[in-house]
Amino acid sequence: MMLKIILNKENIARFIFLAAAYVAVACVILICVFLFTQGVPPIAKIGLGDFLFGEKWKPSQNLYGILPMTLASIYTTVGAIVIGAPIGILTATFLSYFCPQWLYKVLKPMVNLMAGIPSIVYGFFGMAVLVPFVSYTFGGNGKALLTASILLGVMILPTIISVSESAIRSAQKSYYEGAVALGASHEISVFKVILPAAKSGIISSVILGIGRAIGETMAVVMVAGNQAIIPTDITRGARTLTSNIVIEMAEATDLHRAALIGTAVVLFVLVLIINLLFSVIKTRRKHV
């Protein structure tokens, strides 16, 4: 009797887990179906070339070129990774191998707290601190690509730090012990042995950081300047793909609204391409 009860519980648990997995997959499929069924037809109507490479976004004149927003999204994401990835990886290394226990108990909760801060709060921080700083240091009104990149670099830190720390800690300690036994210093053992061993996990943290940066909306809207023009200077304002959607969706109708959904399709495909490229890079490195 007891065995039957245990088996029944195992079957129920297995069914719940399987159902949860199917629901997750179904949600992703439904999102993809909605995006492509609603977004591809307007792209075809506007013209793929005009939509992707058009330099003007003026719905009042039926001009729907998203090249300025695409470039702005790429530039801000690259800037955020350039700023956030080194800081995040080095911080994770410090927490894993150099941080005293008493300090770790302070820093780790602070990193976790950063992950829970709403993006709108980051946006207020950007407006109150970063915008005046960039304006004073580089000129202009401060609402620019550079400001958005700095803010996104701060926002992706918790993701990169947490995933990188897990990857670094999961690297076999025997590698480190062997390097020390051969006469290498603590620092050399960490940077020359442990970090290369954790490279796959660190790359994954950067990929997650890219996904967070390129998909961020409200904080970017508040500090980027939101000018639908091709960015030519990091101290000038720009509008990202996500910002374009959130700014205009509420008042958009007909082809304008459909074009915004098409913008979401482009953003989805862009993120997918980035993830695939990193997957290919990781696969090639494993076989080298």
At residue 225, the 3 state secondary structure works out as strand
Phi, psi for residue 259 in degrees, rounded to 5: -65, -35
Tokens 């601190």 belong to residue: 129
Single-letter amino acid, residue 160: I
- Tell me what pLDDT residue 156 has: 92
Q: Which residues pair with 238 in a beta bridge?
A: 225
Q: What is the pLDDT of residue 228?
A: 83
Query: In 117-182, where do the E strands start and end?
Result: none
Chain-centre distance for alpha carbon 215: 6
Torsion angle of alpha carbons 194, 196, 202, 207, nearest 10°? 180
Structure tokens of 68?
Answer: 């300025």
Whose structure tokens read 């950081």?
209
pLDDT (tens place) for every residue of the chain, 288 residues total: 554 555 566 777 788 888 888 898 899 899 888 888 888 888 888 888 888 888 888 888 888 888 889 999 999 999 999 999 999 999 999 998 888 888 998 888 998 888 888 888 999 999 999 999 998 888 878 888 999 999 999 999 999 999 899 888 887 777 777 777 777 777 888 888 888 888 888 888 888 888 888 888 888 888 888 888 888 888 888 888 888 888 888 787 888 888 898 898 888 888 888 778 777 766 665 555
- Please give the pLDDT value at position 4: 55
